[in-house]
Structure 1
Amino acid sequence: MMSVSDRTREIEAPLVDEWYEWPTPVDWPFYLRLLRQRGDSGVPRMVYLDGSLLLMTPSLPHEERKERLNRLVHEVAVGCGIPYRPTASTTWKRRSRRGGVEGDHTYYLANEPTIRGKREVDLRADPPPDLAVEVVYSHDVTRAIEVYRRLGVPEVWVATERRFQILAPDRPGRGRRYREVGRSVGFPFLSAEEIADRVYRDAPDGELRWAIELRDWVRETLVPRLDAGGRAP
């Protein structure tokens, strides 16, 4: 009988920038065993939803866009003096929600004081991240978004090869669904259009120049807007 480790080794080869769907239903204990076997490497990333399991190894373009978005969140938070805690691709899961997900990046913003200093976060008692980022090149992101919804994540950024979206709940409480919104929930002075403009722009002079221009833009545009109490245009 094939073991979990055998199955994991078997699927490593075709996981280059592709999603692999586990061929049979996966129960919660088996999902946890896979997470333990994989360890802290974070690859392949996993999305578990109602017994289905997707696994992915990201490509270079995927990782580059992910890091641009991470840089943007960092520069905006630091430049504007907003407390935040980056939690990278932490596995967020709850058995009662029948879901587990590992975003490209996740962050605590409004709830950062609640989990400040904690070595472990338990979603049965602690709030979920305030922001999740998903970069999409070759896979279906709908299942990951559904897990975020079940966990109660209040904002999801979705970046495809050509389009950027901000998703937020359509109403508070149970039964809510995500809808596309024009500005960030955690950074209400920042619009989806502005994020897309910064993240998708070419960098003919290299990433260093791109990062410097991003920092200058935060200082010259966003900080004065925030100080004036303004929201995104």
Structure 2
Amino acid sequence: MYLEAPPPLMGENRMVFRSLDWAAFQQIRQLLAERTHARFTYDTGVLEITMPLEGHERLARLIELFIRILVVELGLKMKSMGSTTLARADLLKSAEPDNGYYIQNYALVADHEVDLAVDPPPDLVVEVDITHTDIQKNALYASLGVPEFWRFNGREWTILQLVEGRYEECDCSPTFPLVAKADLYGFLQTAIADEVTAELDFRQWVRAQTQA
């Protein structure tokens, strides 16, 4: 099943630079981050600079709402990382996802600023990629050790679980086994027309499922 609404023609503007060492990447990022709202993804010499457009941002925020409803209604704890930079200089990899969350490992990071040199990566990372990306993001986040990775291209939701260093596609989320792909598609379909109704309806549905 897919989201019924057709995807926007453009979700992001992207620029790609190749053969950049880590120091050059850091210089470019520092220079541009002060002047733009761009996001920077770096993987072993390849730098992709992304400027999210409205279609991208709306879907990312709606998926964030979907996750927050689940966390609240299921009585879980969560630390939201948003698009905080996930950088590992030792791996020559850095990413700024749409959303990152600590849920299972919430207690390990709740009281301090995350340092990936000593702290685990987020339990769940979400990326909306409507237009083509030159970065192999599955490999990137697998290298960073992210246990669960959601990708959404405007129509299709892919759930990936890290197994022995590589991602395997799942039918439902390991973090939220209560929901299936159809539930996100239905939520987004409603939310595109009416976000408040979508939230109220989904909260009611989650409560009904947990009380059954």
Shorter-chain TM-score bucket reads: 0.7 to 0.9
1:162 corresponding residue in structure 2: 155
Q: Give the SS at the match of 1:121.
A: coil
Alpha-carbon deviation of 1:220?
2.0
Alpha-carbon deviation of 1:128?
0.1
Matched ranges for 1:57-72 at <5 A: 57-72=51-66
The whole-number CA distance in structure 2 between the counterparts of 1:220 and 1:135 is 29
2:121 corresponding residue in structure 1: 128
- Tell me the amino acid that sits aligned with residue 19 of structure 1: R
Alpha-carbon deviation of 1:185?
1.6
The one of 66, 72, 86 aligned to 1:92: 86
The one of 159, 183, 186 aligned to 2:172: 183
User: Aligned pair in 2 of structure 1 residues 40, 145: CA closer, same or farther (>3 Å)?
Assistant: farther
User: Aligned pair in 2 of structure 1 residues 156, 41: CA closer, same or farther (>3 Å)?
Assistant: farther
Moved more, 141-150 or 82-91: 141-150
User: Aligned pair in 2 of structure 1 residues 141, 187: CA closer, same or farther (>3 Å)?
Assistant: farther
2:6 corresponding residue in structure 1: none
- Tell me the amino acid that sits aligned with residue 215 of structure 1: R
User: Aligned pair in 2 of structure 1 residues 27, 156: CA closer, same or farther (>3 Å)?
Assistant: same
The whole-number CA distance in structure 1 between the counterparts of 2:176 and 2:26 is 34
User: Aligned pair in 2 of structure 1 residues 76, 20: CA closer, same or farther (>3 Å)?
Assistant: same
2:22 corresponding residue in structure 1: 28
Gaps of 5+ in 1: 1-14, 226-233
Residue 213 in structure 1 maps to residue 206 in structure 2: no
After superposition, the C-alpha distances for 1:73-118 in whole angstroms (9 at most, x for unaligned) are: 1010011111111100011010121211111111001111000111
The answer as to whether partners of 1:42 and 1:89 remain within 8 angstroms in 2 is no
Aligned length: 203
The whole-number CA distance in structure 2 between the counterparts of 1:106 and 1:144 is 14
Q: Give the SS at the match of 1:66.
A: helix
1:197 corresponding residue in structure 2: 186
Identity of aligned residues (%): 27
Q: CA RMSD in A?
A: 2.1
Alpha-carbon deviation of 1:193?
3.0
User: Aligned pair in 2 of structure 1 residues 63, 47: CA closer, same or farther (>3 Å)?
Assistant: same
2:5 corresponding residue in structure 1: none
The whole-number CA distance in structure 1 between the counterparts of 2:56 and 2:90 is 31
Q: TM-score, normalised by structure 2?
A: 0.87
The answer as to whether partners of 2:48 and 2:134 remain within 8 angstroms in 1 is no
Residue 78 in structure 1 maps to residue 72 in structure 2: yes
The answer as to whether partners of 2:142 and 2:167 remain within 8 angstroms in 1 is yes
**Structure whose CA Rg is larger:** 1
1:146 corresponding residue in structure 2: 139
Alpha-carbon deviation of 1:42?
7.2
The answer as to whether partners of 1:203 and 1:209 remain within 8 angstroms in 2 is no
User: Aligned pair in 2 of structure 1 residues 105, 97: CA closer, same or farther (>3 Å)?
Assistant: same
- Tell me the amino acid that sits aligned with residue 211 of structure 2: P
The answer as to whether partners of 2:13 and 2:50 remain within 8 angstroms in 1 is yes
The answer as to whether partners of 1:18 and 1:139 remain within 8 angstroms in 2 is no
